[in-house]
Amino acid sequence: STVPHRTLMPARLDMPAHTASWIFGEPAAVSNCTHVLPEDPNDAKNPFKARDKLALDISSVRALEVAKTILEELAELFPDKFLHVGGDEVDYRCWYTMPKIKSWMQEKGFQPVDA
């Protein structure tokens, strides 16, 4: 007999990395660390790869508000039990080289991570 199965495809919102596009609508939510270039020299020459380093500004109240709103809206649109938010591929240099974010991280007790 054939057993029916279901493939679950959860909604996906990749963050805190890969949020460069957010800077156009919510500039206060994104760490504008375009000075952090990819380590690969070929990627560093590519303007799209350089923009890929941008991440949410974890010290920004606005970033939290925007992320919360988007997640709430996704939860309504996709009532599954699962939601993929990524959470990987952050280039931590984007946060450590921004004085406001670095200070916030130190206040909260967050230490640099080798990624």
Express each pLDDT in 16-34 by its tens digit: 888 888 889 999 999 988 8
Residues of the chain above pLDDT 90, percent: 34
| Residue-wise pLDDT tens digits, 49-71 | 777 778 999 999 999 999 999 99
- To the query of whether residue 107 is one of the catalytic residues in this protein, the response is no
* DSSP secondary structure string for all residues of 71-103: HHHHHHH--SS-EEEE-----THHHHTSHHHHH
Q: What is this structure's pTM?
A: 0.79
Residue 109: pLDDT band by 50, 70, 90 thresholds?
very high
Give percent above pLDDT 70 in the chain.
Answer: 97
- Pair 56, 85: CB distance under 8 Å: no
Of the listed 73, 76, 89, 107, which one is catalytic? Answer: 89
Q: For residue 115, what pLDDT is reported? A: 42
